[in-house]
Amino acid sequence: MASKPFDTFCYQVCSLIRWKPARYAAWAELNAHLEDHAAALEAQGMESEEAARRAVEAMGDPYKLGHQLDQCHSPQIGRAHV
């Protein structure tokens, strides 16, 4: 279920992750969480657009999250594990 709000959120978060392999993994995981949350809201009777918007809101500030994920997936740390 591709969603523009999901894509926008994931882009905002992942653009702050410097290590590219971590960006792709983070995007996939974030999108899966957003889809699951939106699906749960839709199952409660919420319209799909509203459910997508609320799922994104529940994730919080994309820039704060992006900076936190960048710290967890630093290019130096990531290369040591590859």
Residue type, 8: T
45-58 pLDDT per residue, tens: 999 999 999 999 99
Q: What pTM did the predictor assign?
A: 0.84
List CB contacts of 78: < 8 A, sequence separation 6 or more: 19, 21, 22
3-state secondary structure of 6: helix
pLDDT band, very low/low/confident/very high, at 2 (cuts 50, 70, 90): low
